[in-house]
Structure 1
C-alpha cells in the first residue's frame, strides 16, 4: 500500500479526498473557502480540515498561500496528484463524431494534453448532444464537448451543469465562421 493510500484511510484522509475533488474545480490564484466553511460542508471539525489541507500540501497535490484577511489562495495545483487523491481513475469524455479534420485535431489535442499531465484519459464519440448530456448527468462521463449554443441551452435547463471551458473564435483568418467548443461539467 502506498504512502498516499495509507494516509487516506483516516478521517483526515476522507476529508482530504473531498477537498481534492473540490480543488480539482479550482485554478491557480483562486481563493479557497474558509476552513470553517469546509468544516460545515464536510461535517467535521476545523482541525480535521486543517490537517487534510496539510496532507494535500505534504504530498505535493497543492501549494497554498495564506494572505491574512484576504484568505488563502492556491499557489500551485498538481492535477495528476489531486486526481489520484480524489480516488479517480480515468477521465472520460464524450464528443460528437469527428466529421472534419479540425474535430479530429481537437480530439488528438485533448489526448496529448491529458498525457502531458500524466492523467489517464478516454474519449468516446457519440451523436446527439442530449445523449452526451444524459451520460454526463448519469456520471458516465466527466465532461462532454458540444457547441456553445447547446452548452448554454443545457445549462439553462439543468442547474447542475456548468460551462467549464470555452473556446471562442468567431472568425478564422479566411473569414469563414467557425464554431465554439464548450466543455460542460457537473458542478
Structure 2
C-alpha cells in the first residue's frame, strides 16, 4: 500500500531546501556541491521518510535503507541524507544494533508532521443540530488539538455530500454512521474506516415520526401515505425503504430539516427521524419504533472514515484520535458539564 500521496508539501520542501542549502554552504563554502534539483529530491524523500517513521513507536525497528530505497524509488545515498536531516532536526533518534537492524529510540511526531508539510487536519461532519453531534465534534476537535495537531471542522448536510467532499480531497476525513460507511464500502467507494465510536454515539435512535392523532401509530395501514425521504442521507433513505418495503406509499423528496415542518403542514404523513433533541408535544407529533433491529443499531454508531489511498492521514488519526477522550468529551457536552467547542 502506497502511503505517500497526501498534503501540500511546499512549506516543508522550502524548509528542507533551506537546511540543505545551509549545509552545502558551510561544507567548504561551495554552494555548487548540491544543485537545486538534487536538493529538491532529497527534500521530497525526507518528507516521505518522515511519513514512514510517523506510525512507529519508540523501541521499534525502522525499515532498512534498502527497504525504503525500494519503496520510495530513491538511491541509498538519498535515503541516508534524509535520515541525517531528520536526526539533525531532532525529529528522531536512532540506534544501530548491527545485524539486528536500526531502532527508533526517540520520536517527535509533531516535528515529523512539520517536516512532511502537514499543518492542519480538516474533517467534515453532519450539521450540529443535536447535542450528540456537538459532543462528537467537540471530542474530535479537542483530542486532535491536545495532541498538537491543528484541526478544522466543516459541517455539511447529507452523507453523499460529505463523501463527495472527501473524494474531491477538500477534507482529510469525514464522520458518518457505520451503516452509511458500510453502504459505501460495499459499493466499492474508495474509503476505509479509521475509528468506530460505538453504539449511540452518532444518534440515539431512529424512529418513524407521525402526527400525534395519526391512527398508524397503532397499526400498519399506510396505504396512500406520503413519506418524506432525504435522498442525500443514506441512513434516512435506507431505514425508510427497509420499513415500508412494498407498501403502497408515495415518497416525497425533501431535505432532512424539513421533516418536522412538513409534518405540521401535512405535506407528508410520516418520515424516519432521529429522536434526539425534538420536543414531540410542542410539535404535536408522535413516533413508533422501527422494526429492523440490525439496521437500527449500526445507524447509531459514529465512525471516522478517510480515503483508502490516504495512508498517512489514516496513521495520523489512528495515532492522535483518542477514542476514549472523544467519548468523554461527548458525554460532558450531553450532561452540560462541557461547553461545545469546535
Query: Normalised by the shorter chain, which TM-score bucket?
Result: 0.7 to 0.9
CA distance in 2, matches of 1:90, 1:146: 21
Partner of 2:19: 7
- Superposed, which structure 2 residues align to 1:106-121 within 5 Å? 106-121=136-151
Aligned-pair CA distance for 1:180? 2.3
SS of the counterpart of 1:118? coil
Distance change >3 Å, CA 35–CA 166, structure 1 → 2: farther
**Distance apart, 1:136 and its partner CA:** 1.2
Q: Is the contact made by 1:8 and 1:16 (CA closer than 8 Å) also made in structure 2?
A: no
- In 2, the alpha carbon distance for the partners of 1:125 and 1:170 equals 22
Secondary structure of 1:122's match?
strand
Secondary structure, aligned partner of 1:146? strand
| 1:100 is the counterpart of 2:121 | no
- Of 42-51 and 31-40, deviating more is 31-40
Which of 30, 41, 51 matches 2:71? 41
**How far is 1:157 from its partner?**
3.5
Decide whether the 8 Å contact of 1:155 with 1:163 is kept in 2. no
CA-CA distance at 1:45 after TM superposition: 0.8
Question: Alignment length, in residue pairs?
Answer: 183
Q: Where do 1:34-183 residues align within 5 Å?
A: 34-63=64-93, 77-158=107-188, 160-167=190-197, 169-170=198-199, 179-183=300-304
- Structure 2 CA distance for aligned equivalents of residues 152 and 75 of structure 1: 39
Q: From the CA coordinates, give the structure whose radius of gyration is larger.
A: 2
Report the CA distance between 1:77 and its aligned residue.
4.4
Q: Normalised by the size of structure 2, how large is the TM-score?
A: 0.45
Residues 21-75 of structure 1: CA distance to partner in whole angstroms, max 9, x if unpaired?
3444x25377654432321232211232233134224323345566777766656
Contact 1:90 1:120 in 2 (8 A): yes
- 8 Å CA contact 1:79–1:117 kept in 2: the answer is no
Q: Please tell me the root mean square deviation across aligned C-alpha atoms, in Å.
A: 3.4
Q: 1:131 to 1:171 in 2, by over 3 A?
A: closer
Aligned in 2, Cα 1:150/1:4: closer, same or farther, shift over 3 Å? same
Segments of 5+ residues of structure 1 without an aligned counterpart are none
Contact residue 63 and residue 76 of structure 1 kept, 8 A: yes
Q: Secondary structure at the match of 1:55?
A: helix
TM-score using structure 1 length: 0.75
Deviations 1:57-97 (A, max 9, x none): 43233455667777666565433222211112321110111
